Structure 1
């Protein structure tokens, strides 16, 4: 159950973390950033599994793709924050009377704690036959394919960029196989948006393509999101 909060009473003082024995300077900085991140605090207060929930909220508030009755695929869904946001918006639990009931399938390589209204599977979406399996679970084609996946950081900016682009491309090609005409693809990319080749392919296959940085993304992060709408089939 996700708790709503006005955000009042959340920590507004800077927390400083001392470097402990066995903790590296980089991990100390990460911990300090987490403790002082207003979106981390808000996620805890409102019952979301991570600050990323506010990114998909902001994207959907702007582009309106998570609608009642939608069939949605969430790639790399762990820890489940995007699923938590999508479930009520697509009416997956049927709690909004008179509106169509949606369905959402989450996929990840690791096990994810259950979320009411979401169907979660441990699957590598790049495996042969994954597209057919996804459509089988959904009971048809998808209206939305979304991905907040990020490759493990190598510490080398160019290498990390290529890894993220590769994940985004793999997610896009799954989307091409499972989306219904008019569908939406949303995925994490890096600063500058999708690579030229992928950007061109998305523009060919979708009516509208935008590269945006939600305010919930950290200011020092190079991440952006590509939102492609109006899949041409």
Structure 2
């Protein structure tokens, strides 16, 4: 919703502010919006840091910041990453759960787009909304999840109300699945957009989790409506409890 250079840890330090900003000349045939996007990418310190640190996307730093503060990912945890491409969140999950070095963690990712392999993870090129996806994810996980991550986002239409409803729908689907597979005490982190139509989602979250909060990491652009909902302390369902005892 999966690419590399020299590994430099996951501290997320930004490039020096003294670096010269790059400008992109408007090329013939290129839309002005495309030129502005490209210029923003070239001047984005998180994009530069991702290249330097060997991460596949700037979004990696969003998860790093959230996990540093709320400690979602722990050694031995089983993690499901929805909308995993290009793999930045999966890179952090396998490292912090120990899955990357065989210390008991397990990470399963899924996306419509292909994802280059990441050691310590199982990556599925599959539509999360396909009928067969839930059973395949459960099979690959092999047991209840400790954490469900969702950075899924529908392609933007440019119409803000429509985009909001589409991403909220994805978040609701991710939550429904999370409540099927999370073990009691588990956590759910998902991308949303600021705006209305959240009442039912928040009601469901507050009913099923002990603590629910909105978070906007520094790596989320300040001019973006993007933010994340974080729910911790899953209260558990009969299905989750049965799976945990299986």
Q: TM-score, normalised by structure 1?
A: 0.93
TM-superposed deviation, 1:232 = 1.0
Q: Across the two proteins, how many residue pairs are aligned to each other?
A: 229
After superposition, residues 1-80 of structure 1 pair within 5 angstroms as 3-4=7-8, 7=14, 12-80=19-87
Indicate which of 192, 203, 207 corresponds to 1:189.
192
Distance in 1 (alpha carbons) for counterparts of 2:116 and 2:80 = 17
| Matched-pair contact (CA < 8 Å) for 2:14–2:46 | no
| Matched-pair contact (CA < 8 Å) for 2:15–2:48 | no
| Matched-pair contact (CA < 8 Å) for 1:135–1:142 | no
The Cα offsets for residues 33-91 of structure 1, whole Å up to 9 and x where unpaired, read as 00000000000000101000000001111111110000000001000000111111000
Q: Which moved more, 1:10-19 or 1:213-222?
A: 10-19
Alignment CA distance shift 1:194-1:184 (3 Å): farther
Distance in 2 (alpha carbons) for counterparts of 1:120 and 1:176 = 21
Give the CA RMSD over aligned residues: 1.8
> What secondary structure sits across from 2:101 in the alignment?
coil
Counterpart in the other structure of 1:125: 128
TM-superposed deviation, 1:145 = 0.6
After superposition, residues 166-185 of structure 1 pair within 5 angstroms as 166-185=169-188
Structure 1 stretches lacking a partner, 5+ long? none
Distance in 2 (alpha carbons) for counterparts of 1:15 and 1:92 = 38
| Matched-pair contact (CA < 8 Å) for 1:211–1:226 | yes
1:93 has 2:96 as partner: no
Structure 2 stretches lacking a partner, 5+ long? 237-246
TM-superposed deviation, 1:128 = 2.9
TM-superposed deviation, 1:191 = 1.7
> What secondary structure sits across from 2:134 in the alignment?
helix
Moved beyond 6 Å, runs of 4+? none
The Cα offsets for residues 148-172 of structure 1, whole Å up to 9 and x where unpaired, read as 1111110111111011101111111
TM-superposed deviation, 1:12 = 1.9
Distance in 2 (alpha carbons) for counterparts of 1:193 and 1:14 = 36
After superposition, residues 204-219 of structure 1 pair within 5 angstroms as 204-219=207-222
Q: TM-score, normalised by structure 2?
A: 0.88
> What secondary structure sits across from 1:203 in the alignment?
helix
| Matched-pair contact (CA < 8 Å) for 1:75–1:145 | yes
